[in-house]
Structure 1
Amino acid sequence: MSISTIITAAGKNSRMRKDQISRNIELKNKLILPFENKTVIETTIDNALSANVDECIVVLGHYADEIKEAIFDNYKDSVKFVINNPVDVGLSVSLYNGLSNIMSDFALCITADQPTVSTQTFNKMIEVSQNSKNPYKTISILRRRKTGLLDTAEGLGMPFVAPRENLMEYLKNENDNLNPILRKIFADGYTFYGIKEKNKKELLNINHYEDYLALLD
Structure 2
Amino acid sequence: MNAIITAAGKNSRMINDFEKRNETPIHKLKLEINEKPILIHTLNNVLNSNIDNVIIALGHHKDEIYSLLEEYDFLDKVQIKVNPDVNVGLSKTIENCLNENFENDYLFMAADQPTISTNTINNLISTLKNSENPRNTISVLARRKIGKLDSAEGLGMPFCCYGKLLYNYVKYENDNLNPILRKMISDNVDFYGISSENELELMNINHYDEYIYIKNELEK
Q: Do they fold alike, i.e. is TM over 0.5?
A: yes
Distance 1:94 1:105 in 2: 17
- What's the CA shift for 1:201? 0.3
2:15 to 14, 17, 38: 17
Distance 1:138 1:29 in 2: 34
Change (3 A) 1:39 1:101: farther
Alignment RMSD, CA only? 1.1
Distance 1:160 1:42 in 2: 20
- What's the CA shift for 1:28? 1.1
Asked if 1 retains the 8 angstrom alpha-carbon contact of 2:92 and 2:174, the reply is yes
Taking structure 1 as the reference length, the TM-score comes to: 0.96
Asked if 2 retains the 8 angstrom alpha-carbon contact of 1:7 and 1:57, the reply is yes
Q: Which residue of 1 aligns with 2:47?
A: 49
Distance 1:187 1:103 in 2: 22
Return 77-86 or 67-76, whichever deviates more.
67-76
Do structure 1's residue 126 and structure 2's residue 150 form an aligned pair?
no
Asked if 1 retains the 8 angstrom alpha-carbon contact of 2:152 and 2:182, the reply is yes
Distance 1:27 1:104 in 2: 40
Q: Report the 3-state secondary structure (helix = DSSP H, G, I; strand = E; otherwise coil) of the residue aligned with 1:75.
A: coil
Distance 2:34 2:175 in 1: 32
Q: Which amino acid aligns with 2:24?
A: E
1:32 to 30, 37, 50: 30
Structure 1 segments unaligned to the other structure (5+ residues)? none
**Correspondence list, 1:126-205, <5 A:** 126-205=125-204
> Identity of paired residues, percent?
47
Number of aligned residues: 215
Q: Which residue of 2 aligns with 1:85?
A: 84
Asked if 2 retains the 8 angstrom alpha-carbon contact of 1:4 and 1:102, the reply is no
Distance 1:79 1:156 in 2: 26
Do structure 1's residue 8 and structure 2's residue 6 form an aligned pair?
yes
Runs of 4 or more, structure 1, over 6 Å off, are: none
Taking structure 2 as the reference length, the TM-score comes to: 0.95
